[in-house]
Amino acid sequence: MDFDLTREQEMIRKEVRRFAQSEIAPVAVDLDEREEFSVALTRKMGEIGLFGMFVSEAYEGQGLDYIATLSPWRRWPGWTAPRRPPSPPAIRLASGRFTTSAARPKSANTCPGCVPGQAIWGFGLTEPTAGSDAGGSKTTAMRDGSHWVINGSKIFITNAASEMTLGVTVQAVTGSRPNGKPEYTCFIVENGTRGFKAVPMKKKMMWRASNTAELYFDDVRVPAENILGRPGDGFHQMLKTLDGGRLSIAAMGLGGAQGAYDAALSYARKREQFGQPISKFQAVAFKLADSAMEIECGRNLLYKACWLRDQKRSFEKEAAMAKLYCSELMGRVANHAVQIHGGYGLMKEYNVERFYRDQKLLDIGEGTSEVQRIVISRYIGC
């Protein structure tokens, strides 16, 4: 067994760390305060290749493995903007994993500009009445000659309403299966298509520098070649996208936990009460010891899930476990970090309050913690 990163993976980790410290950390607090999605940072992230990491070389990416792609996140300091790395569907689209129909030229399968960070793309699954129960989607698409006509709405869609957004991948009901259940199909809807509107959602408690939108589809006509894969593939595609996305959320949890822990350890060594650093008090030291141990557990769980995926083996159960564990891990560590900072931990100028707020989405996005437990319990045969 080899727990070391390869030379290439280590180099990538260092470069991303350098970028995060020099480019993201200095503006993270301000972006959070102003609720601003940073186009400039997104472009810079694209320039250093962050959005092409697991996109195949055929589509201008680097074709790296998951460990190389997700290991840098483990120490993502000041982790704020834009939280979600390349939007999964954009990447999937760009990588040709789920390509559009053969009628669509190959070049059109790529979200132009996504890999170099000139554009972003949204992933539209959640609806006002269909969140955890994604199978309850009400958005419909009806065939009309060589086109499909989409009607409905989506909510909480990341990256869907920024000035860099090119469009969204959207799941819609296109009929019924032989067993009577709805048939789902994914469509590519480009910005500017008549009847399609993306409205930014503001006043979030967390992820304030991330772009979130409500989407409205009012008789939106898209050509049949805008179907991703084949009609009826939609539900399977979305579930596959979520399996990969869970690894990303787990990496965010791990990186956030590491960031909160680093801040807490550093503060505890410097802050003196009763004539000594508070890190010398067992009550504080044990919180840090527990955090260090749990971060190590989370890292091993996440790396194993990534490794399984890189080996093209089944990784879905481990991805759900890593997502659940690392999300909740960040909650425990950020809670300790705020406690160790005392009153200062509640003030905005100390970063730990942001870790504390930002963590909450990880328990909810890409399938809630309850949904992860349902997934895991099915895999273990309950």
Ligand X SMILES: Cc1cc2nc3c(=O)[nH]c(=O)nc-3n(C[C@H](O)[C@H](O)[C@H](O)COP(=O)(O)OP(=O)(O)OC[C@H]3O[C@@H](n4cnc5c(N)ncnc54)[C@H](O)[C@@H]3O)c2cc1C
Catalytic residues: 366
Position 207 contacts ligand X (CB under 6 A): yes
Give the amino acid at 299: R
Cβ-count burial 161-186 (b if 16+ within 10 Å, e if not):
bbebbbbbbbbbbbeeeeeeebbbbb
Q: Which region holds residue 274: left if phi is over 0, alpha if psi is between -120 and 50, else beta?
A: left
Position 211 contacts ligand X (CB under 6 A): no
Position 187 contacts ligand X (CB under 6 A): no
Of 42, 71, 110, 126, which lies in the binding site for ligand X, with binding defined by CB under 6 A? 126
- Which span (95-103, 125-133, 179-187, 335-343) binds ligand X, by CB under 6 A? 125-133
State which of positions 104-123 bind ligand X (CB under 6 A): 123
Position 370 contacts ligand X (CB under 6 A): yes
- Closest residue to ligand X using C-beta atoms: 131
Give the helix ranges, DSSP H, for the chain.
Answer: 7-19, 25-34, 39-47, 66-70, 88-95, 234-270, 282-310, 316-340, 352-362, 369-379
Position 212 contacts ligand X (CB under 6 A): yes
Position 215 contacts ligand X (CB under 6 A): no
Residue with smaller CB distance to ligand X, 340 or 362: 362
Angle between helices 88-95 and 234-270 (to 10 degrees): 130
Q: What is the dihedral of CA 138, 225, 116, 31, to 10 degrees?
A: -20
Spell out the residues 6+ positions from residue 6 whose beta carbon is closer than 8 angstroms to its own. 68
Of 149, 264, 361, 362, which lies in the binding site for ligand X, with binding defined by CB under 6 A? 361
Position 132 contacts ligand X (CB under 6 A): yes
Residue with smaller CB distance to ligand X, 141 or 265: 141
Min CB(173)–ligand X separation in Å:
15
Angle between helices 352-362 and 25-34 (to 10 degrees): 70
Residue with smaller CB distance to ligand X, 119 or 263: 119
Min CB(206)–ligand X separation in Å:
7
Taking residues 154 to 183 in sequence order and writing x for each that binds ligand X by CB under 6 A, - otherwise, the string is --xxx-------------------------
Backbone CA torsion sign across 177, 180, 181, 187: positive
Residue with smaller CB distance to ligand X, 30 or 370: 370
Position 364 contacts ligand X (CB under 6 A): yes
Largest CA distance in the chain: 80
Point out which residues bind ligand X (CB under 6 A). 123-126, 131-132, 156-158, 207, 212, 361, 364-368, 370-371, 374
